Amino acid sequence: MADAPVNALHNEFPPDSIEAKDLAHLLHPTTHLKHHAAAGPTVHERAEGVYLWDNQGKQYLEGMAGLWCTALGYGNAELAEVAAAQMKQLSYSQLFAGKTHESSVLLAEKLKEIAPFEAGRVFYGLSGSDANDTQIKLMWYYNNAIGRPEKKKIISRRRGYHGVTVASGSLTGLPPFHKAFDLPIPGVLHTDCPHFYSEGSSGESETQFVDRIVNNLEDLILKEGADTIAAFIAEPILGAGGVIVPPPGYYQKVQALLEQYDICFIDDEVICGFGRTGQAFGAQTMGFTPTTMSVAKAVSSAYLPLSAVLIPEYMHEAFLSVSDELGVFGHGFTYSGHPVCAAVALRNLEIMQEQDLFTHAAEVGEVFQQRLAGFAEHPLVGEVRGAGLLGAAELVKEKEPRMPFKPSEGVGAYCASACQEAGLIVRAMGDAVAFCPPLIITEAQVHEMFDKFAVGLDKTLAWLR
Ligand SMILES: Cc1ncc(COP(=O)(O)O)c(C=O)c1O
């Protein structure tokens, strides 16, 4: 059974249309290329708040904050003004070789102020992928600086998502990002995905599951040798792997293990950061303390690209200690700390604080989680899960005993299409349908979102029957 995208109805687009030109010119990221060639694109034309309109005038509720990023919603005029003013004053400046400027410095100060650990220094990039590449390079540089040249491997998790560049794509634990790209690179290891629902053995309790996968992690560390492992990287709640909330106690046991073997904890807050999970950072919701942290997406609410890596001061001191020996700290991008991106990100975070948006997200998040929980009774839904304004419903063929659909049936993709037809943008990752609306969403809009999901879900059930 192939999925049936909304645009399958339009198999011919006028040659001058954006649709036809899209099909002629673009190579789309993270897209099933053949399905796209058959179905054609949906053209987004404008957006305001939590709503988007396509070029047919159809309105959609944005249930995914774009790619988990438009926290402040669309069309914030103040951010547009901040960008314009910064472009007029200093459209570009750099941070190489001792140059600096106000917006990057003030943003670093703000990020340290709200970080969930004692951060010392901030390094800027433009994407979550480059932030996680930077994480790996900083771990290597640090361990070389302090005389531990063997301690270099990074442990990630199956179904984790950390980006697509050669190194961050290796950290990612999802097959499409490795297959035929010759990834992962050596030195990146993958351990268990902490999803009890899909990975728990029959008869196993959640606590036994946690103990088993934490033991597996320890076995991996011992097999490789703790003195060869630099860091463990984790999204507090796994996003693109299907919105997976690890069981209680998991992170506490992992953290204890990492401390025992002197392994850094890289916290990938690219989705979870800035209020998404009901607290400022996912590490706080899940109860662990990072060594270093990556942020992107909501840090600028995607008005402009910006990412940052936060490290403790002792890592920076180690870098300083080898400065004479190594010369230039040879890492940085032309756009590291782009002044316009930094000015917009800074104002974005200030607005979040002024509007007490993290509290708003936590409060509306309760309604969100209640509505999501209501779908557990639906015949197609095997599990609902989430925290704050992040969640997913997993569609299954049989609830008890759990039997998933075959991937070739495309049930998740069909459901996402049916939701789109009903005026809701969601994303299917396999058969997990994800929800991650802008944090500014109101309670009424949360109800509207799940009412539309109910329509899409019932249509999927009818289609299957
Ligand atoms: C947790 C996480 N880390 C890293 C990335 C990569 O970010 P980017 O797409 O900006 O490179 C993503 C993107 O979705 C992500 O969800």
Q: Are 293 and 121 in contact (CB under 8 A)?
A: no
For residue 269, which atom of ligand 1 is closest to its CA? 1
Residue 434 forms part of a structural domain: yes
User: What are residue 154's DSSP bridge partners?
Assistant: 188, 231
Question: Which domain, by its residues, includes 286?
Answer: 77-354
Cα of 161 from ligand 1 centre, angstroms:
7
- 52 & 96 share domain: no
User: What are residue 191's DSSP bridge partners?
Assistant: 157
Cα of 342 from ligand 1 centre, angstroms:
19
* pLDDT for residue 2: 40
- 179 & 212 share domain: yes
Last residue of a domain, one of 354, 372, 398: 354
Nearest Cα neighbor of 237 from 65, 68, 63 is: 68
Cα of 275 from ligand 1 centre, angstroms:
17
Residue 14 forms part of a structural domain: no
Residue 21 forms part of a structural domain: no
For residue 68, which atom of ligand 1 is closest to its CA? 14
* Residue 340 region by backbone torsions, left for phi larger than 0, else alpha for psi between -120 and 50, else beta: alpha
- 339 & 235 share domain: yes
* Whole-angstrom distance, CA of residue 436 vs CA of residue 348: 18
* pLDDT for residue 240: 98
Pocket test for ligand 1, best of 162, 164, 333 (most atoms within 8 A of CB): 162
DSSP letter (8 states) at residue 409: G
- 220 & 337 share domain: yes
DSSP letter (8 states) at residue 440: T
Cα of 128 from ligand 1 centre, angstroms:
4
Place of tokens 């944005």: 62
Amino acid at 33: L
Residue 31 forms part of a structural domain: no
- 348 & 422 share domain: no
- In what helix (H) or strand (E) does residue 174 lie, and over which residues does it extend? none
Pocket test for ligand 1, best of 68, 129, 277 (most atoms within 8 A of CB): 129
Q: Pocket residues for ligand 1 (CB within 6 Å)?
A: 67-68, 127-129, 132, 161-163, 235, 239-240, 268, 270-271, 296
* pLDDT for residue 11: 57
Q: pLDDT means per 10 residues in the chain (465 residues)?
A: 44 90 97 94 97 97 98 98 98 97 98 98 98 98 98 98 98 97 98 98 97 98 98 98 98 98 98 98 98 98 98 98 98 98 98 98 98 98 98 96 94 97 97 98 98 98 96
Cα of 129 from ligand 1 centre, angstroms:
6
Cα of 163 from ligand 1 centre, angstroms:
5
CATH of the domain at 158: 3.40.640.10
For residue 296, which atom of ligand 1 is closest to its CA? 10
Burial status of residue 108 (CB atoms within 10 A of its CB: 0-12, 13-18, 19 or more): buried
* Whole-angstrom distance, CA of residue 169 vs CA of residue 180: 12
- 411 & 347 share domain: no
Q: Which residues contact 425 (CB under 8 A, 6 or more apart)?
A: 52, 60, 61, 62, 63, 64, 419
* Whole-angstrom distance, CA of residue 13 vs CA of residue 36: 13
CA-nearest residue, atom 7 of ligand 1: 128
Number of helices and strands (H, E) in the chain? 17, 15
Last residue of a domain, one of 321, 354, 387: 354
Residue 174 forms part of a structural domain: yes
Nearest Cα neighbor of 449 from 341, 374, 359 is: 374
Kindly report the pTM of this predicted structure.
0.97
Last residue of a domain, one of 354, 383, 415: 354
* Whole-angstrom distance, CA of residue 138 vs CA of residue 105: 20
- 339 & 205 share domain: yes
What is the CB neighbour count within 10 angstroms for residue 32? 15
Cα of 439 from ligand 1 centre, angstroms:
18
For residue 126, which atom of ligand 1 is closest to its CA? 10
CATH of the domain at 412: 3.90.1150.10
Q: Are 254 and 217 in contact (CB under 8 A)?
A: yes
- 314 & 239 share domain: yes
* pLDDT for residue 5: 45
Q: Which two tokens stand for residue 416?
A: 């996402």
Cα of 231 from ligand 1 centre, angstroms:
18
Q: Are 195 and 133 in contact (CB under 8 A)?
A: no
CA-nearest residue, atom 3 of ligand 1: 162
- 52 & 97 share domain: no
* pLDDT for residue 74: 98
For residue 305, which atom of ligand 1 is closest to its CA? 10
CA-nearest residue, atom 8 of ligand 1: 128
Cα of 78 from ligand 1 centre, angstroms:
26
Residue 175 forms part of a structural domain: yes
* Whole-angstrom distance, CA of residue 366 vs CA of residue 446: 10
Residue 23 forms part of a structural domain: no
User: What are residue 54's DSSP bridge partners?
Assistant: 44
Cα of 173 from ligand 1 centre, angstroms:
13
Total number of domains in the chain: 2
DSSP-based helix, strand, coil % in the chain, nearest 5 = 45, 15, 40
* pLDDT for residue 34: 95
* pLDDT for residue 12: 83
- 114 & 71 share domain: no
- 315 & 375 share domain: no
Helix, strand or coil, per DSSP, at residue 53: strand
- 185 & 293 share domain: yes
For residue 235, which atom of ligand 1 is closest to its CA? 1
Pocket test for ligand 1, best of 266, 271, 306 (most atoms within 8 A of CB): 271
Residue 225 forms part of a structural domain: yes
Cα of 65 from ligand 1 centre, angstroms:
14
